Amino acid sequence: MTEANSKPEGNLKSGSALERTYASGQFVVTGEIGPPKESSFHHVEMYGQGMKGRVDSVNFTDNQTAVTRLSSWAASVKLVQMGMEPNLQVVCRDRNRLAIQSDLLGAYALGVRNVLCLTGDHQAFGNHPGCKGVYDVDSIQLIGILKRLRDEGCFECGEECKHNPKFFIGCAANPFADPFEFRVVRLEKKIEAGADFVQTQCILDMERFERFMELVRERGLHKRIYLAPGLMPVKSPKMARYMQHGVPGMIVSEEFCQFLEKAPNGKIAALDLTVNYIKHVQQIEGVSGCHIMAVAWEEVVPLILTKAGVLPRPFAAFHDNPGVITDELKALWKKSGVEGYVPELM
Amino acid sequence: MIVAEGKPVEKILEMIAPYKKVLIAGCRGCVTVCLTGGEKEVGILASQIRMARSKDGNPIEVLEQTEERQCDAEYNAKFLENVGKVDAIMSLACGIGIQYLGEKYPLTPIYPGVNTLMLGANIDVGKWEERCFACGDCVLDKTGGICPIARCSKSLLNGPCGGSQNGKCEVSAPTKEDVSCGWQLIYDRLVALGQVDKLKEVIPAKNWLRAKGPRTYVREDLTLDRS
């Protein structure tokens, strides 16, 4: 942790636990839950419990891959009601500036403090490919809108907003997209627009991420923003190969795929790899935290974080309910040789 | 130019099914250049319609006429005689021409024989690509002469999203089309021009009011005093 990443407590922008953890200079850990394709909070409660007290904030994706899901703001509010802190993802694909500002006023009033501004996957990927994409503003403009709302108390149009929302403003960066050299310039633009923290696309090619971090440090960007690489426990070698060839804007190293393919127990290997990555990125100058994206495998997050030794979290009361417990998960806990937080499973 | 594609003949036959006498109206403007609605295409479509209807034992009389432009009242006046003779008009002009000809003859039904696609350029034989969105507020000065509104799938103004890879836009996969990333093109052009620093500028939210219709353009210096 570099000194530049510590910011005085008295100078907080939102006061969220996520911001306080970053400001305290401690390594931040965040999780992620993809809301379900149904009108129920069951999924949010189930995986949320497992992350309670184990992460500083939980991202809720906003109709990820352009598939209609339970709204990210509703899921975020549910998490607030569970005594946890959400990070509300907002994409520019589905709403114009009028609707986004309106939703965020409501979300803030209901206790949401962190927002992650994203462009959004193109609607052609999703389950309503013929729908009209909005893209009224782009992610950088959205960051600027939230900053102005927070710091100047006015809407995008310039009108005053009384009781203005004071969000901790996040953005994404993808070190694996092209043009590679422009990626840091784009991050700098996001910082200029007002981003306080950045989460990257999931890192499945550590070498490329390290090159990206070199460029980040060259421009001194790590001193202006809290940066957390996205880390994904990849459930199967098949999924790794799919991501290597089938997901745009992703680079999955051959080494990564082969490691999972050759491992006698792919799932243990995937967990170990994620744990190693968590430990590794803590050593990289300019990295202030990590974001665990256990897509379709949310239940393993407690195990990963226990094993990585990043518990307990500083501003979230630890909770020993591990959330989902399946036979497979019990077996993984046993095989991983981790003791402690979930003794009833041992 | 305005680029259009012909509608399938079956669709056209369906639209004119109730009629016994129609006029196929062509245009010598953009649709002639993109080989969709000129004199030649009017002739081909007229023959197809006659043959199909004869085969069905329901013959139809088809008149053919092509004028300079259907987006011009003066040229549309020339259709007067033929319009008087028919039950309906099938226009092969762009969406502007179809509507403007229809306005001239409001008591005769008019139908579209084409789908108007884009403001594009003919980049190769038989291949057209969109270049302009007519958004009403040109930003080409900031983007190396390449339009992010028309050529980025998301009309982004501040650089490529995370879906740009190897010069291709992320929509290439789901649409199974080879779509270039407009922002990669912009980046490459600005690098070549030594102007890549232009991309550091944060461009604020766009005023889409100018991009959204119905729009009107009035030039006071050209309008006539009708008082």
**Taking CB atoms and an 8 Å cutoff, what residues of chain A touch B158?**
138-141, 186, 189
Residues 30-69 of B with CB under 8 A from A: none
Q: Give CA–CA dist A224/A81, Å, rounded.
A: 32
Bridge partner residues of A228 (DSSP):
A199
Predicted confidence at residue A333, as pLDDT, reads: 76
DSSP string, B6-74: EPPHHHHHHHTTT-SEEEEEEESSHHHHTTSSSHHHHHHHHHHHHHHHHHTT---EEEEEEES-SS-HH
Please answer yes or no on whether A189 and B202 come within 8 Å at the CB atom: yes
Query: What is the model's pTM?
Result: 0.92
**Taking CB atoms and an 8 Å cutoff, what residues of chain B touch A140?**
158-159, 202
Taking alpha carbons only, the member of B128, B129, B96, B127 closest to residue B112 is B96
**Taking CB atoms and an 8 Å cutoff, what residues of chain B touch A122?**
153-154, 163, 169-171, 174
Closest Cβ–Cβ partner in B167, B174, B199 for A125: B174
CA distance, residue A177 to nearest chain B CA (Å): 5
Predicted confidence at residue A17, as pLDDT, reads: 93
Residues 158-197 of B with CB under 8 A from A: 158-175, 181, 184, 187-188
The letter for the amino acid at A71 is S
Containing A262, the helix (H) or strand (E) segment is helix A254-262
**What's the mean pLDDT when you consider all of chain A?**
90
Q: What is the mean predicted confidence (pLDDT) over B49-72? A: 98
Six-digit token string for A33: 């839950």
* Contact in structure between A153 and A160 (CB atoms under 8 Å): yes
Distance (Å) of CA A98 to CA A134, B23, B146: 12, 47, 29
**Taking CB atoms and an 8 Å cutoff, what residues of chain A touch B171?**
122, 124
What ipTM score was computed for the predicted complex, to two decimals? 0.91
Taking alpha carbons only, the member of A51, A91, A54 closest to residue A69 is A91
Q: Which sign, positive or negative, has the C-alpha torsion B132, B138, B143, B148?
A: negative
Six-digit token string for B55: 């085969």
Please answer yes or no on whether B164 and A185 come within 8 Å at the CB atom: no
Q: Give CA–CA dist A172/A198, Å, rounded.
A: 5
> Best of A127, A137, A149, A178 to disrupt the B interface by mutation (most B CBs within 10 Å)?
A178
DSSP at A177: S
CA distance, residue A141 to nearest chain B CA (Å): 6
Per-residue pLDDT band at A317 (split at 50, 70, 90):
low
Span B122-153, pLDDT tens digits: 999 999 999 999 999 999 999 999 999 999 99
Per-residue pLDDT band at A344 (split at 50, 70, 90):
very low
* Contact in structure between A48 and A82 (CB atoms under 8 Å): yes
CA distance, residue A91 to nearest chain B CA (Å): 12
Exposure class string for A123-142: b at 16+ Cβ within 10 A, else e? bbbbeeeeeebbbbbbbbbb
**Closest residue in chain A to residue B186, using alpha carbons only:** A179
* Contact in structure between A147 and A117 (CB atoms under 8 Å): no
Span B148-172, pLDDT tens digits: 999 999 999 999 999 999 999 999 9
Six-digit token string for A121: 């996957």
CA distance, residue A85 to nearest chain B CA (Å): 26
Taking alpha carbons only, the member of B99, B120, B127, B129 closest to residue B111 is B99
Closest Cβ–Cβ partner in B154, B159, B169 for A135: B154
CA distance, residue A251 to nearest chain B CA (Å): 10
Q: Give CA–CA dist A103/A112, Å, rounded.
A: 11
Closest Cβ–Cβ partner in A133, A188, A201 for B162: A201
Exposure class string for B112-151: b at 16+ Cβ within 10 A, else e? bbbebbbebeeeeeeebeebeeebeeeeeebbbebbbbbb
Lowest mean pLDDT among A14-18, A263-267, B34-38: A263-267
Predicted confidence at residue A315, as pLDDT, reads: 82
DSSP at B153: T
Q: Is A2's pLDDT higher than 60?
A: no
The letter for the amino acid at A83 is G
Taking alpha carbons only, the member of A133, A134, A142, A70 closest to residue A104 is A142
Closest Cβ–Cβ partner in B155, B161, B175 for A124: B175
Count residue pairs from A and B with Cβ separation < 8 A. 107
Closest Cβ–Cβ partner in B160, B166, B170 for A122: B170
Q: Are strands A226-231 and A289-292 parallel, antiparallel or unpaired?
A: parallel
In CATH, which of 3.40.50.300, 3.40.50.12280, 3.90.1170.50, 3.20.20.220 is domain A3-336?
3.20.20.220
Answer whether the bond into residue A179 is a cis peptide, omega within 30°: yes
Q: How many CB atoms lie within 10 A of CB B10?
A: 8
Span B3-32, pLDDT tens digits: 999 999 999 999 999 999 999 999 999 999
Chain centroid to CA B29: how far?
11
Q: Give CA–CA dist A79/B192, Å, rounded.
A: 49
* Contact in structure between A108 and A135 (CB atoms under 8 Å): no
Predicted confidence at residue B130, as pLDDT, reads: 97
Predicted confidence at residue A266, as pLDDT, reads: 86
Taking alpha carbons only, the member of B120, B117, B116 closest to residue B98 is B116
* Contact in structure between B206 and B156 (CB atoms under 8 Å): no
CA distance, residue B52 to nearest chain A CA (Å): 33
* Contact in structure between B26 and B66 (CB atoms under 8 Å): yes
Domains of chain B, first to last: 2-117 (3.40.50.2300), 134-210 (no CATH)
Span A89-125, pLDDT tens digits: 999 999 999 999 999 999 999 999 999 999 999 999 9
Please answer yes or no on whether A121 and B157 come within 8 Å at the CB atom: no
Span A236-269, pLDDT tens digits: 999 999 888 877 788 898 988 998 899 988 899 9
CA distance, residue A150 to nearest chain B CA (Å): 17
**What's the mean pLDDT when you consider all of chain B?**
96
The letter for the amino acid at B86 is V
> Best of B135, B154, B168 to disrupt the A interface by mutation (most A CBs within 10 Å)?
B154
CA distance, residue A168 to nearest chain B CA (Å): 20
DSSP at A125: G
Six-digit token string for A237: 């070698």
**Closest residue in chain A to residue B166, using alpha carbons only:** A178
